[in-house]
Amino acid sequence: MDSIVVQGGTPLRGQIPIAGAKNACLTLMPATLLSDEPLTLTNAPRLSDIGTMKLLLESLGAEVSALSDGKVLAMSSHGLTSTRADYDIVRKMRASNLVLGPLLAREHQAIVSLPGGCAIGARPMDIHIDALTAMGAEIDLRDGYLHAVARGGLKGARIALRFASVGATENTLMAATLAKGTTIIDNAAREPEIVDLARCLRAMGAQIEGEGTPSIIIQGVDRLHGATHAVVTDRIELGTYMLAPVIAGGEVECLGGRLDLVAAFAERLHAAGIEVTETAKGLKVRRNGERPRAVDVITEPFPGFPTDLQAQMMAMLCTAEGASVLEERIFENRFMHAPELGRMGARIDVQGGVARVTGVDRLRGAPVMATDLRASVSLILAGLAAEGETIVNRVYHLDRGYEQVEQKLSAVGARINRVKGI
Ligand code: UD1
């Protein structure tokens, strides 16, 4: 397994290009299942999760070609051969469940494995199941698989999600495009990735209004056609690299960055005393010498502070002036990076979903273990500020969601490299 080695203490200066959004691309790719005409995505990120979704779609009989060095995905689902998403692929990535809505809509049936590590029964997909059931699907859980059938096709319905789940909103939105009649999704998630999905579906001929608000209205159509769509900028990669100069010092311009994608996050940086400015090409972040101030953070659905930036923000707050409180409200167990940061000298006290971080003058490099995708990048960020060498082990998590992290950070002056493992 590869490791990343970081020598801390160098201020950063320069530009970092931000890729297309992983989470948008992972929901745009299954949208190909809704049509027998080609769907082409441009600005796709080059990540192992995208490769996993490609394998899943191919296992269903779709054709997926990665062109232009992987930045363009040309897909076609004219000859689907299967409606079964196998455990072997789904266990690698929860987002595999996003084939459920499209398969039900187009093929009127789907068998989709539940992702691994689930609580007893169907709880982690209960919101998806309730929504699709309201549209006339019959869904049973057997042998770890959801068996879903929509006899005579899905029907439009008014659906209030119990929680604004991103995945459930995406599955329901895709399913509703080909349902008979009108679907209204209340308490819909408002994330930019959902807006991007709605734009792509509209380019394919879907009738959708209200994306980005809590009520999405979809008028079902008989068929969708082909389209070409550019994937929206990755706001999580953007926020991650915005934090790099805050932690290491210096000034970095994130190319393609947009303030509307990271408004709640940028507001917290501002409160911490960090300058964020919009430029013609993106967003520029500068730390002028002083340590950032401690700030409190609560993760919430969009437009609130994203849970996917919580670990990176914690890495920054470890060296801030004063004590901060971070409250994680989306996922129950998302502070696995805290003990690893502790190995680098951070002072973090975790009680349930609340972490208290007392800023220290300086972190010290150490060997640490990446436990998940965002945790791994938070350890790299911490390494940029630490004295000496930080070795981040198990970086396969990182490759799921960050393309060319070493190249992007070394281009702005960081001393970082990858050590190939067995
Ligand atoms: C998506 C993102 C992920 C991000 C998360 C929250 C993708 C591929 N992944 O994940 O990076 O961290 O949004 O912004 O886009 N839940 C249920 N029942 C359900 C569905 C969800 O209880 O049927 C719970 C989950 O266990 C979790 C919370 O709701 O605690 C949020 O989940 P959700 O918004 O669905 O996240 P994902 O779509 O899985």
Q: pLDDT tens per residue, the chain (422 residues)?
A: 889 999 999 999 999 999 999 999 999 999 999 999 999 999 999 999 999 999 999 999 999 999 999 999 999 999 999 999 999 999 888 899 999 999 999 999 999 998 864 332 345 899 999 999 999 999 999 999 999 999 999 999 999 999 999 999 999 999 999 999 999 999 999 999 999 999 999 999 999 999 999 999 999 999 999 999 999 999 999 999 999 999 999 999 999 999 999 999 999 999 999 999 999 999 999 997 789 999 999 999 999 999 999 999 999 999 999 999 999 999 887 898 999 999 999 999 999 999 999 999 999 999 999 888 888 999 999 999 999 999 999 888 888 889 999 999 999 999 999 998 86
The closest residue, in CA terms, to atom 34 on ligand 1 is 165
Q: Is 163 near ligand 1, meaning CB less than 6 Å away?
A: yes
Identify the sign of the CA torsion 107, 109, 113, 119: positive
Which atom of ligand 1 approaches the CA of 24 most closely? 15
Whole-number Å distance, alpha carbon 172 to ligand 1 midpoint, is: 14
Which atom of ligand 1 approaches the CA of 193 most closely? 15
Q: Is 125 near ligand 1, meaning CB less than 6 Å away?
A: yes
pLDDT at 118: 35
Q: Is 126 near ligand 1, meaning CB less than 6 Å away?
A: yes
Q: Is 115 near ligand 1, meaning CB less than 6 Å away?
A: no
Q: Is 168 near ligand 1, meaning CB less than 6 Å away?
A: yes
Question: Within a 13 Å sphere around the CA of 266, how many CA atoms are in the beta-carbon half?
Answer: 18
Which atom of ligand 1 approaches the CA of 126 most closely? 23
Which atom of ligand 1 approaches the CA of 49 most closely? 8
Q: Is 124 near ligand 1, meaning CB less than 6 Å away?
A: yes
Residues 192 and 101: their CA atoms lie apart, in Å, by 19
Whole-number Å distance, alpha carbon 126 to ligand 1 midpoint, is: 11
Dihedral angle over CA of 354, 359, 365, 368, nearest 10? 0
pLDDT at 116: 61
Query: Is residue 25 annotated as a catalytic residue, yes or no?
Result: no
Whole-number Å distance, alpha carbon 390 to ligand 1 midpoint, is: 31
Estimate the share of the chain in helix, then strand, then coil, as percent rounded to the nearest 5: 35, 30, 35
Which atom of ligand 1 approaches the CA of 167 most closely? 38
Q: Is 56 near ligand 1, meaning CB less than 6 Å away?
A: no
Question: Within a 13 Å sphere around the CA of 234, how many CA atoms are in the beta-carbon half?
Answer: 26
The closest residue, in CA terms, to atom 12 on ligand 1 is 308
Choose the residue to mutate in 25, 50, 96, 163 for probing ligand 1, maximizing ligand atoms within 8 Å of C-beta: 163
- Active-site option among 118, 200, 254, 318: 118
Choose the residue to mutate in 93, 193, 330 for probing ligand 1, maximizing ligand atoms within 8 Å of C-beta: 330
Q: Is 213 near ligand 1, meaning CB less than 6 Å away?
A: no
Q: Is 162 near ligand 1, meaning CB less than 6 Å away?
A: no
The Cα angle at residue 186 between residues 182 and 190, in degrees rounded to 5 = 110
Contacts by residues 132-140 (CB-CB < 8 Å, ≥ 24 positions apart): 132/100, 132/101, 132/104, 132/171, 132/172, 132/175, 134/158, 134/159, 135/159, 135/172, 135/175, 135/176, 135/179, 135/183, 137/104
Which atom of ligand 1 approaches the CA of 164 most closely? 34
* CB of 156 closer than 8 Å to CB of 180: yes
Whole-number Å distance, alpha carbon 273 to ligand 1 midpoint, is: 31
Per-residue tokens: 60: 């269903």
Q: Is 167 near ligand 1, meaning CB less than 6 Å away?
A: yes
